[in-house]
Amino acid sequence: MFRDTSTRLVCRVDDMGVKPRRMWPPASRALAVFLLLNSVVLNLSVRQCTHQPTSLSYTRMFLTPEVHVWDDSWRPMQAALQYLEEHRDESVYEEVFFRHHVKFQYPPMSLLPLKVLNALQVGVDARTLNTWSRPAVVAIALVLALIFRMRLSLARGDALADGLPALALYGALALGFTLTFYPVVLAFELGQIQTWITLLFACAALAWISGQTMVAGVLCGLIACVKPQWALLLPWAFVRRRWRFAGGLAVTAGLVTLASIAIFGLASHLDYFRVLRAMAEHGESFYANQSINGLLQRLIHGGGEWRTNAFPEYNRWVYAGTMASSLVIVAFAIFFRFREHAHERTADFSIAVLSFTMASPIAWEHHYGVMLILFALAVPVVMRGDGSARKPLLVPLAAAYVLSSNYFDVAGRWSAAPSNLVQSYVLFGAAIMVVSLYRLRQSAALSSR
């Protein structure tokens, strides 16, 4: 992730004599070295020292031909869908979430894709859904390569002139980064709908930097129908007068919600607010919850174990700290020192997406799969930016990537406070990145004056 100051030269003989031609596009060698050090050397070293799984363990699982049947998302979604098909006008959350303690935490709109698959008589079992998730991960890598190449070209101020070999090289690097990025491969291994959310966001980011803001809004609207915290992008867009983005998001989310009400009834949609309140009041203490709530839970109660059918006890201090921190994070993302400059729009968009993820009371490790896309948006600008204020950002961005892309299972050994702070390493990586994005946004605003 450091600027590539050297190029490999070969000779090409033609009618004009001997001319140099670059085999390695700019920045590619630095990216390859960083990928090797972070994803291979670091992981093998941790594995050798701790004898515990690392992110490469999940990479190996992804590359295994056999399709796994883990159903972290699919099981509660299937239970909810089955209940709604039999009790259309009753609240699915009263029965499934509150009475039987099945953690179906998504809004009813999230069930529409499974409903459509059922109508088409396509299987919605975990094995089938996970089979489709595998190419989705590869698609994330392909979109990642396009985003990085486009951002690098815009930062450099030239056209996409490196040709097919360079694009293939960036594609190979993007695949390497994707398959070793722990939140991404973890989502696939768990049987998580987050895999598809990450792909949708990658496409939204590509549309955003291509100037197709309405398309980006439509895709973010689809995400908001599964992850309600993404609806905060609507007031964020209003403050910035991003009317096309806001329109795409609002119309998409609105139409999907109306369709969901028509199919599943109104009761479940109204009762979902009670679910949101319960999750905000209780949160999760398990160290995979990389949010302020999770950090506070562990500091007060110690490192928590995963409980399939239960939440931690309500604690007013945890709840107050969660609400206060969420309010501050969201308010900063929407209002803090925002000025309208063309060069800072993407950094500002990235701040909003990451901030709204961090502000959620429950932010599992796999929710941070979006950070892989945010790195592809930010790193090319920092590597190729001519402003001296941007170059030092490479170090904190590299640190943020190391913390967010790896699985340090050894952190689970520190369950007692305050040493269990180390269990929040993904949250700390996200915090480092969001601060770096604020600095990048500021440097872009200054350079455009």
Predicted local confidence at residue 54, as pLDDT: 92
Residue 449 tokens read as 């004056």
Tell me the CA distances in angstroms from 146 to 157, 172, 212, one per residue in order.
16, 12, 15
Roughly what angle, to the nearest 10 degrees, separates helices 394-405 and 370-384?
160
Question: Which tens digit of pLDDT belongs to each residue from 242-290?
Answer: 999 999 999 999 999 999 999 999 999 999 999 999 999 999 999 899 9
- Quick one: pLDDT band at residue 333, thresholds 50, 70, 90? very high
Question: Which tens digit of pLDDT belongs to each residue from 87-109?
Answer: 888 999 999 999 999 999 999 99
Which carries the bigger pLDDT value, residue 163 or residue 40?
40
For residues 44-63, give the mean pLDDT.
92
Residue type, 409: D
Question: Which tens digit of pLDDT belongs to each residue from 5-52?
Answer: 333 333 443 444 444 445 565 677 889 999 999 999 999 999 999 888
Q: Minimal CA–CA distance to 274: which of 99, 31, 89? A: 99
SS3 56: helix
Predicted local confidence at residue 392, as pLDDT: 84
Q: Average pLDDT over the chain, rounded to whole?
A: 88
Roughly what angle, to the nearest 10 degrees, separates helices 43-50 and 55-63?
110
For residues 417-434, give the mean pLDDT.
93
Other CB atoms within 10 A of residue 26 CB = 19
Residue 133 pLDDT exceeds 90:
yes
For residues 342-371, give the mean pLDDT.
93
- Residue identified by tokens 């070999």 is 165
Domain assignments of the chain as residue spans, ordered by start: 9-447
Q: What percent of the chain has pLDDT over 90?
A: 69
Residue 121 pLDDT exceeds 60:
yes
Task: Return d(Cα 340, Cα 17) in angstroms, integer.
Answer: 50
Q: Report the range of poorest mean pLDDT among 151-160, 162-171, 433-442.
A: 151-160
Instruction: Please tell me the pTM assigned to this model.
Output: 0.90
Residue 435 tokens read as 């601060």
Other CB atoms within 10 A of residue 234 CB = 19
Task: Return d(Cα 444, Cα 390) in angstroms, integer.
Answer: 9
Task: Return d(Cα 177, Cα 397) in angstroms, integer.
Answer: 15
